């Protein structure tokens, strides 16, 4: 199984390293032929407006929309979650929301970079010990649709959720050295 990491902008390298350290064949995705070649995809954190523009510039917008509509397993982290959402507030009017996750998310909702923080999150799907989650200019999920399963919350807000094969988290799981979410995403067959 080949797992791609969208590598146009943002935190791709650490996702690739995390995937490789759990034994996955991980490759960067920058072109449509590279997207066509992967079984799963991580959309990393970074800047959703920039990633959105770069998807257009690299001819990936249509192919990514098709793969998502076809049910490809996808994990969007932070900016990646914004790309998977059905609605983004406080974003740019022209940024892409692929709608793989029926959620509304408010961009930069905790404030600027200086308001970044870590939290120990209990995530039952990952086992008994909490995961250290790093939040960097993260969005807040303000609405989840009826098909969305919420796997973790912080202060009442969903921070990890999934809808079918689309997963999204508002934190950076590649930064804490805890590989359980990457492993669960790679092993999931639903």
Contacts of 131 by beta carbon, 8 Å cutoff, 6+ apart: 120, 121, 123, 173, 176, 178, 180, 181
- d(Cα 2, Cα 165) in Å, to the nearest integer? 16
User: With the CA atoms of 62, 67, 70 and 71 taken in that order, what torsion angle do they form, in degrees rounded to the nearest 10?
Assistant: -140
Q: Out of 107, 162, 165, 182, point to the residue binding ligand GLN (CB under 6 A).
A: 107
What is the smallest separation between the CB atom of 64 and ligand GLN, expressed in angstroms? Answer: 16
Q: Report the greatest alpha carbon distance in the chain.
A: 43
Q: Which stretch binds ligand GLN (CB under 6 A): 24-32, 46-54, 144-152, 178-186?
A: 46-54
Q: Which of 97, 161, 169, 174 is catalytic?
A: 174
Nearer to ligand GLN, 78 or 141 (CB): 78
Question: Quick check: is 174 catalytic?
Answer: yes
Question: Quick check: is 187 catalytic?
Answer: no
Residues that bind ligand GLN (CB under 6 A): 45-48, 78-79, 82, 107-108, 136-137
């Amino acid at each position: 199984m080949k797992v791609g990491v969208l590598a146009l902008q943002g935190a791709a390298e650490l996702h690739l390293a995390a995937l490789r350290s759990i034994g996955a064949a991980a490759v960067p995705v920058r072109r449509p032929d590279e997207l066509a070649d992967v079984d799963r995809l991580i959309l990393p954190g970074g800047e959703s407006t920039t990633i959105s523009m770069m998807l257009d510039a690299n001819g990936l917008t249509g192919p990514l929309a098709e793969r998502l509509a076809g049910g490809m397993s996808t994990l969007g982290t932070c900016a990646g979650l914004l790309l998977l959402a059905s609605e983004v507030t406080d974003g740019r009017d022209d940024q892409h929301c692929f709608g793989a996750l029926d959620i509304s998310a408010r961009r930069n909702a905790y404030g600027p970079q200086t308001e970044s923080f870590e939290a120990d999150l209990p995530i039952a799907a990952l086992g008994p010990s909490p995961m250290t989650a790093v939040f960097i200019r993260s969005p807040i999920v303000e609405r989840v649709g009826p098909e969305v399963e919420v796997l973790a919350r912080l202060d009442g807000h969903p921070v990890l959720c999934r809808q079918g094969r689309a997963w999204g988290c508002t934190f950076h799981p590649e930064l804490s050295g805890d590989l359980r979410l990457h492993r669960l995403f790679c092993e999931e067959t639903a």
